[in-house]
Structure 1
């Protein structure tokens, strides 16, 4: 089909973990569903996005607002020299609102209002413009449905939660065996009752924007999180639906060479036996102290398995005698690495995108949560799914250093646990089936597109009726003037 109703606009938050899943979706919608897809971004982020996308996906550049609090050229959270600058970065992104409004206005003038906007939840200020131009807004959180339900339930029912209890009594979780403590929650949810904290104000504003949006798309699949999907959706006003369409990493292959040579990693893996390599990555946002990195290095060597370790700190130099069993790199194409048969397990910070890629690849996890909702993800992976085991500090204590002996023990147990491996391989097959033709995620995505098309058709019909009514009124006025 052609025409303006086939246009989908995406606005990812400017962070790799938030952007990459939507790039998978954008490429798939463009090449498989033949939709016209436009991604909103800034000049500093465009080159990386362009390398990851088919030519059929368009980029529309918005000017990144200057801020005296941010270093020049920092247009992504991955480039922040310190995470303490994150609030300043968020404030700067909110200044994109008039440029976004102008973009939608230009589409209206060209009679090409899109089917929808898929907006990161970190951009709640996109909602008023969507409402003004009658564009359905779908939010994307990049979180597991379980974590989204827990946080949403607490935000929605703050007056019903006793934050001094341990574990917490969370509305909607009375029949669950999973126990959640205050320390498991993201910082902004832990302090959700303190309305003077900027992060609380933002969290509440984002939650309200979600409530007034058309729906949410979730990077998960029905057989993995059907129960929590129903619980999560029950917290929204009637008509707002959650659409589980993942794993997005399996929709479209965007793992091309970026600013680092990932082919070197894959060539290195090609020379290793099946299931013999431990993949290690703590994501792009969490700061890991040098002392902890050294303990990890020693622990990996002591465990005896080959390892591929992504270390964001390019200045890190491992201790002498470290590196005989492994390869340390600054970046790797994670999805491709996890899909490689040589990889036998993943030491992960439990960001949902990373953890879900591991599940999709059928690889068990050593769960080492650090920030945000990662402790909730770890709880779901370990206690609910049984596809990982926990390492690291207890929830809420992120200051202690995990010893090399603990790292060694955790890696050895992860690589040797046959039952855990069987479970994750089953979930991996289920994940691949979900995105195949006729699979649950594939069908839900098709249903979503058709529903959006129906909404667009209804919207156009309303406009046509209104225009026809206006014409009739004008004709009556002319007739009255003629008679007079």
Structure 2
């Protein structure tokens, strides 16, 4: 990302009319320097939760209190692509709210040992599922049984919005968390690193729309197949009182999200307020003398 600075400045030199404000991702720290050199205000856009922003702001407390970051070395992989399986057609053939959608993101991966336990737990639970498992889809198809599909990629928002999907097992990355909230689904949380732990805590403890799969945070904690199978049976039981209450709360959060993004909602209101503030900052005063 640091190599973007020079091309960005070259772009600014060519633009007409000239740029008067820069809105930049917080992690593109060099944008502040560009703005300072050109006397252009820079607004920081933080695309994650306010909780994580607060954590970054107080990161010095980690050292003061003796906390240490989780070791995620050798755990990353990035894959892209699509799959020829018609997973949407398969979803169309499943009963309403009967399918568990599983995805742990595209950047950080679950250990091979844990992946095997998840596959065995799915098989033993008898729960219908659609699992996005990048890089291991072919192998896992043979392990998971006949109750679901394993694919290397899918259109996540379409899947989450499908009527046959009744739950979301997620790593709690911010994009996945937001999409799950907008879809009104309960969560099984499986955080791996970074903001995923605070997002998981919000879903489980604050919004009360999900359960943790891991009893203890940390990539080394192995959840056995027996525990996974029992948890999945409970989670996808649409007739249980706890399941009904969790889904009711998830739908309530969904409604809040819809209201926030509707015309006149808080998203539009806040964006309008931001635009007015920037405009007032840039334009000279027109007060009458």
- In the alignment, the residues of structure 1 paired with residue 120 and residue 133 of structure 2 have an alpha-carbon distance, to the nearest angstrom, of 14
Secondary structure of the residue aligned to 1:138 is: strand
Instruction: Give a deviation string over 1:53-107, Cα, whole Å, max 9, x none.
Output: xxxxxxxxxxxxxxxxxxxxxxxxxxxxxxxxxxxxxxxx213222222222223
Partner of 1:367: 189
Aligned mate of 1:124, from 8, 29, 42: 29
Aligned mate of 1:296, from 118, 126, 151: 118
Contact kept in structure 2, 1:350 and 1:369, CA below 8 Å:
yes
- In the alignment, the residues of structure 2 paired with residue 262 and residue 319 of structure 1 have an alpha-carbon distance, to the nearest angstrom, of 14
- In the alignment, the residues of structure 2 paired with residue 141 and residue 406 of structure 1 have an alpha-carbon distance, to the nearest angstrom, of 37
Contact kept in structure 2, 1:186 and 1:373, CA below 8 Å:
no
Instruction: Give a deviation string over 1:252-283, Cα, whole Å, max 9, x none.
Output: xxxxxx94259922222111111100000000
Matches within 5 A, 1:267-278: 267-278=89-100
Partner of 2:220: 399
Structure 1: give runs of 5+ residues left out of the alignment.
1-92, 165-181, 189-257, 462-484
Aligned mate of 2:43, from 117, 121, 138: 138
Q: Are residue 444 (structure 1) and residue 267 (structure 2) matched?
A: no
Structure 2: give runs of 5+ residues left out of the alignment.
73-79, 238-242
Residues 292/319 of structure 1: CA separation in 2 closer, same or farther (3 Å cut): farther
Residues 393/120 of structure 1: CA separation in 2 closer, same or farther (3 Å cut): farther
- In the alignment, the residues of structure 1 paired with residue 29 and residue 213 of structure 2 have an alpha-carbon distance, to the nearest angstrom, of 35
Matches within 5 A, 1:278-293: 278-293=100-115
Residues 309/319 of structure 1: CA separation in 2 closer, same or farther (3 Å cut): closer
> 1:321: Cα distance to partner?
5.2
Residues 419/130 of structure 1: CA separation in 2 closer, same or farther (3 Å cut): same
- In the alignment, the residues of structure 1 paired with residue 42 and residue 236 of structure 2 have an alpha-carbon distance, to the nearest angstrom, of 43
Contact kept in structure 1, 2:121 and 2:225, CA below 8 Å:
yes
Secondary structure of the residue aligned to 1:340 is: coil
- In the alignment, the residues of structure 1 paired with residue 121 and residue 129 of structure 2 have an alpha-carbon distance, to the nearest angstrom, of 11
Contact kept in structure 2, 1:101 and 1:129, CA below 8 Å:
yes
Q: How many residues align structurally? A: 274
TM-score normalised to structure 2 length: 0.84
Partner of 1:377: 199
Partner of 1:163: 65
Contact kept in structure 1, 2:137 and 2:152, CA below 8 Å:
no
> 1:392: Cα distance to partner?
2.4
Q: Are residue 324 (structure 1) and residue 146 (structure 2) matched?
A: yes
Computed over aligned residues only, the root mean square deviation of the Cα atoms, in angstroms, reads 2.7
Partner of 2:19: 113
TM-score normalised to structure 1 length: 0.52
Partner of 1:96: 4
> 1:316: Cα distance to partner?
5.0
> 1:373: Cα distance to partner?
1.9
Contact kept in structure 1, 2:130 and 2:148, CA below 8 Å:
yes
Larger radius of gyration: 1
- In the alignment, the residues of structure 2 paired with residue 117 and residue 451 of structure 1 have an alpha-carbon distance, to the nearest angstrom, of 14
> 1:131: Cα distance to partner?
2.1
